[in-house]
Amino acid sequence: MTTFRYINAKSDLTTTNATTVYTVPSKYIAIVKSIIVSEDSGNADTITVTLTDSSGSVFSLYKTKSISANGTAELLTRDLNLSSGEIIKCTAATGGRLHVVMSIDEYYTGLN
């Protein structure tokens, strides 16, 4: 029997390093419903969002996406399906300006 749960994954991007925001747990699949980015310092900035698959390959979802000063942006226009072990990472051009909140539906499958 498949069970599911609704979660939020959140991160304050305090550095310019790639930050893991969400990793699909073992034996789960996930549907990302929303990725919201908010700029809170009064300065425009950019964000890069990547997906790392279970073999370690990195795929760009957004490359230097502009976020306006004091602005909020919804990055997804459709659901994003993820498999067990896949990782969403975000990188800010400047640390301490951007927050990321992801809305996710997780489904337990019992399979890796």
Indicate the SS3 state at residue 74: strand
Torsion of CA 1, 30, 56, 35, to 10 degrees: -170
Please compute the mean of the pLDDT values over residues 97-103 and round it to a whole number. 98
Single pTM value for the model: 0.94
Specify the DSSP class assigned to residue 27. Answer: T
pLDDT band for position 2 (50/70/90)?
A: low
Tell me the average pLDDT of the chain.
96
| E runs forming strands in the chain | 3-13, 19-23, 28-39, 45-52, 58-67, 72-74, 80-82, 87-92, 98-108
CB within 8 A of 55, min separation 6: which ones?
A: none
What is the per-residue pLDDT across 42-97, written as a single tens digit (0 to 9) for each? 999 999 999 999 999 999 999 999 999 999 999 999 999 999 999 999 999 999 99
- Residue 80: give the domain boundaries: 3-108
Residue 112, pLDDT above cutoff 90: no
* Number of domains comprising the chain: 1
pLDDT band for position 33 (50/70/90)?
A: very high
For residue 58, the domain's CATH number is 2.60.120.340
